């Protein structure tokens, strides 16, 4: 399956953002259980992060991202890319 990357930038105060982090983590655990090999994390500097996962197509990747609690609750702006791995 192709890999996809959601690069995100926070757009709400940290206190609001942090309310949705537990739901985001649970969502990523659900993606892992479904076989999407998801990984999530944030930049060392405040203000954004990344979700890396496998999906069958860009359409499926878009649907996956749309259900992310950080997206559903308006906490981030993001870009979604298909990642073409060349080594590793």
User: Do the domain assignments include residue 88?
Assistant: no
Please report, for the domain that includes residue 50, its CATH number.
3.30.70.1060
- C-alpha 74/C-alpha 84 separation (Å) is 28
- Domain count of the chain? 1
* Residue 39, token pair as written in the block: 């990984």
Q: Containing domain of residue 75, as a range?
A: 3-83
- The confidence score (pLDDT) of residue 86 equals 93
- C-alpha 13/C-alpha 50 separation (Å) is 18
pLDDT 10s digits, 15-70: 999 999 999 999 999 999 999 999 999 988 767 899 999 999 999 999 999 999 99
User: Do the domain assignments include residue 78?
Assistant: yes
Q: Are 38 and 47 in contact (CB under 8 A)?
A: no
Q: Are 61 and 55 in contact (CB under 8 A)?
A: yes
* Residue 15, token pair as written in the block: 């206190």
């Amino acid at each position: 399956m192709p890999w996809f990357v959601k690069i995100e930038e926070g757009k709400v105060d940290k206190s609001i953002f942090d309310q949705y982090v537990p739901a985001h983590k649970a969502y990523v655990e659900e993606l892992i259980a479904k076989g999407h090999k998801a990984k999530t994390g944030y930049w060392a500097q405040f203000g954004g992060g990344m979700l890396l996962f496998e999906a069958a197509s860009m359409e499926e990747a878009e649907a996956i991202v749309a259900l992310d609690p950080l997206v559903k609750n308006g906490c981030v702006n993001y870009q979604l890319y298909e990642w073409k791995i060349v080594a590793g």
